[in-house]
Amino acid sequence: MPTKQQIDQYFDQGYFIADDAVEPDMLDELEAAGRRVRDKIRSGAVNIHSNLGENDEPIVIYGMIAPEYGEPIFAQYMASKVVESYVQAFLGEELRLGFLAFFATANQAPYDTGWHRDVGPDNRDNTEEAEMEILNRPITSLKWHLALVDDPCLLLVPGSQQRYRTEEEQKCLTETQHADISTQQIINLKRGQTVYWNGNIVHRGYAPEGLKERLTLASGLNKYDENEPVETEADDRFSWCLADNIRPTLPDKMKIYYDRWRALQPA
């Protein structure tokens, strides 16, 4: 579970890096499974849902827990005790499924998201009052990246999750989205390291020149609230997860996370 120093850094700087947030005996298996999923998409053998770049190279892969891929390790990881201990330190004991994706991009497919906050496409050029209302909302989800090989692809502006954008950030958020920000920090993850970070932070994902490959799990769990309203429309990125064959293959703990998520999806 996280230390007090890590928790304090998360709320102050918007992120922290953990060296022990994956079961050691899972790491090799997760990497091998990630390569198999990527290669099945490359060959056209299976593709549940993914974003493809140039030459149909997979960039962001969804659906790794789908039985068509035959890789139960991903659901086992999400339901593992070490993952639970980190998330519960921030969200409490009762959790539900958030999301699971796999970043596989490399220089075969240019990748640069540009600077943004994860606050939705309609909230990228807010007034200070509107933006601070979003940033001050209670934390209800925790997201993280687990590097299965070394990963230098996440850039953050530390502390920006607590305040309104600066003039420099405003320009990069709305105009020059692929330019550097003077206060940016590159999160250089080593294999097996996990970065937990607040999606409200000003951030950017990109594949630097010469990157051989990226194999990174992007995951999130949410705080369970029995009064959380049902979504008005389904998220296309996760519609595959509504299939009838998903739940039976999940570990028991993951079934609880899944059922709580499923109850929030439109009928």
**Which CATH number characterizes residue 27's domain?**
2.60.120.620
Alpha helices, DSSP H only, in 163-263?
A: 167-174, 252-262
Domains of the chain: total: 1
Q: Residue 17 domain-assigned?
A: yes
Please report whether residue 167 resides in a domain: yes
Q: What is the pLDDT of residue 76?
A: 97
Report the C-alpha gap between 150 and 130 in whole angstroms. 37
pLDDT in tens, 9-44: 999 999 999 999 999 999 999 999 999 999 999 999
Would 117 be classed as within a structural domain?
Answer: yes
- How far is residue 146's CA from residue 239's CA, in Å, rounded to a whole number? 24
Within 13 A of 127's CA, how many CA atoms are on the CB side? 2
Q: Is residue 90 part of a domain?
A: yes
pTM: 0.94
Full residue range of the structural domain in which residue 234 is found: 4-262
Alpha-carbon separation of residue 169 from 74, 136, 203, 260 (angstroms): 36, 19, 10, 37
Q: How far apart are CA 251 and CA 248, in angstroms?
A: 8
Please report whether residue 257 resides in a domain. Answer: yes
Rg (CA), the chain: 18
- Kindly report the number of other CB atoms within 10 A of residue 27's CB atom: 16
For residue 254, give both structure tokens: 């993951």
- 141 occurs within a structural domain: yes
**Residue at 94 is within a domain:** yes
Evaluate whether residue 267 is within a structural domain: no
Q: What local confidence, expressed as pLDDT, does residue 122 receive?
A: 59
Per-residue pLDDT of the chain (267 residues; tens, 9 = 90+): 899 999 999 999 999 999 999 999 999 999 999 999 999 999 999 999 998 888 788 999 999 999 999 999 999 999 999 999 999 999 999 999 999 999 998 777 788 999 999 987 656 778 899 999 999 999 999 999 999 999 999 999 999 999 999 999 999 999 999 999 999 999 999 999 999 999 999 999 999 988 989 999 999 999 999 999 998 887 888 989 999 999 999 999 999 999 999 999 987
CA atoms of 140 and 90, how far apart (whole Å): 9
